[in-house]
Amino acid sequence: MGLDVMQDNDFIAERVTAIIADQALMDPSDITRDSRLADLGIDSLGLVECIFGIEEAFGVSVPFNANTPEQPGFDISSVGAIIAEVEKLVARQAA
**All structural domains of the chain:** 2-94 (1.10.1200.10)
pLDDT digits (tens, 9 = 90+) for 12-46: 999 999 999 999 999 999 999 999 999 999 998 99
Predicted confidence at residue 72, as pLDDT, reads: 66
Residue 37 makes CB contacts below 8 A (sequence gap 6+) with 20, 24, 46, 47, 50, 76, 79
pLDDT digits (tens, 9 = 90+) for 50-60: 999 999 999 99
Give the DSSP letter of residue 33. Answer: T
Give the Cα separation of 60 and 40 in Å (integer). Answer: 24
Strands (E), the chain: none
Check: pTM over 0.85? Answer yes or no: yes
Give the Cα separation of 40 and 31 in Å (integer). Answer: 8
